[in-house]
Structure 1
Amino acid sequence: MKLFTPCVDPNSSRPLGLPVMVQGGFSWRVLFFGWLGLLTYGTWISAMMAAAASILLHLLVTARWEMALIVSLHAALAAFTSDIRLWEMRLNGRKIGAPIAAPSKDIALLRWADRQPSPVSPPEFPCASS
C-alpha cells in the first residue's frame, strides 16, 4: 500500500473538482535526473532552486567533492519529493486533504471520491403512511 495525499483546488468551477493525488515516498526519477525530475512533477519553484544549487556547487566546489555533493543533493531531493510537491501545492492555493492508503493512484482517487458528499441530493420518496 502507498499513501496518496489529495490536493483540491478550492476555486474549481466544477462542483466536484478532481484533486491532484501526490504519492508519498521516494522518487527514482528525481534521484536520477535531479531538478529536471522535479520539473516533470510541475514543481517549478523547487526545481529552479535546486538547479541554482547545482550550478553553484559546480562553480564553487572543487572537482574532488563536486560529484559527491551533487549525488547527495539528488538523494535529498528524491527522499523529500512528496513534501516538496505538497509545499508547491499549498503555494498554488490548493487545500491538502488527509492521506489515503491505496495500491494505486486510481483506487486512491476512487476512495477520495467515495468520501465526498454528493453534489446532487438524493431523491425523496413518498412516505409509506400517507
Structure 2
Amino acid sequence: MEINRRGPGEASLVRDGREILDLVQIEGSEEEFEQALAHLEDLLRPAALPRVVVQYREGLFGAVQADRPAEVVLIEEDPHDEPPLALHRHSVGADRAAVEAALAAAERRRRLAAREAAGS
C-alpha cells in the first residue's frame, strides 16, 4: 500500500493500483496534514528493523532514543550492586532526529579516538 498525494489537503491510500481510501484534511494546517501523511507512510513501509540507541557510560545507563515508539527494558546484572539484578523500563517516543544525532556524535567520537590512537 502507498499514499498518493492528489493536491493540497487531499490524498488517497492505494493498494494494487486502486484507490481504496480517501484522506482529506478537515482541520489543521497543511504542515500537520503532511506530517500525518509522512507518519502513515512510515507505518506502511515494509517492516524494517527499528533503531534504538542506548547510551551507557561508566556503568550508568543514560538516554534511550528510538526511531519508532518502543517499550525498552534494559536488564542490568551486577553481583556487586544491591539488588544484583535490575530492570530499567523506558517508554520511548519516536524521535528520528535524536537517534541520528546520537549516532552521528558517537561516530565522530569514535573516529577521533581512532585518529588519536593512530597518532600515538
Same fold (TM over 0.5): no
Query: Normalising to structure 2: TM-score of the pair?
Result: 0.22
The structure with higher relative contact order (CA 8 Å, sep 6+) is 1
* Higher share in strand: 2
